[in-house]
Amino acid sequence: MSRKPTAPPQRAAHGQVAQRLKKLERRSRRQASRIAELEAQLMEERRLHRRVAELTDVVTELLVPATARDEDRVRAAIAKLDEPSIPR
């Protein structure tokens, strides 16, 4: 009966460590990619939130009765809508 040659225990352990290291490196790359994706989504959410706040300011100014309205504030709020929000 012939026996299969087996790797010495140290060599086998080294192979397992190398496999584990490769697996951890892949996982780390995936996580870094996901973090970058989440950061981009967060920036977009912030930009949109700021835009909604600007629109709310304009609507609030426009709903104030004409006698109490500050036309300069209305013009400034409307002009602000034309400005770019947080850069993309």
Residue type at 55?
A: L
- Measure CA 46 to chain center: 10
For the chain, what are the domain ranges? 9-82
Residue type at 87?
A: P
Q: What CA–CA distance (Å, rounded) separates 61 from 7? A: 79
0.75 exceeded by pTM: no
Are 57 and 77 in contact by the 8 Å Cβ rule? The answer is: yes
| Dihedral sign for Cα atoms in the order 74, 61, 81, 86 | positive
Crossing angle of helices 9-63 and 71-82, rounded to 10°: 150
* pLDDT tens series, the chain, 88 aa: 566 656 566 777 788 999 999 999 999 999 999 999 999 999 999 999 999 998 998 888 788 776 777 788 878 878 887 777 655 5
Q: How high is the pLDDT of residue 8?
A: 61
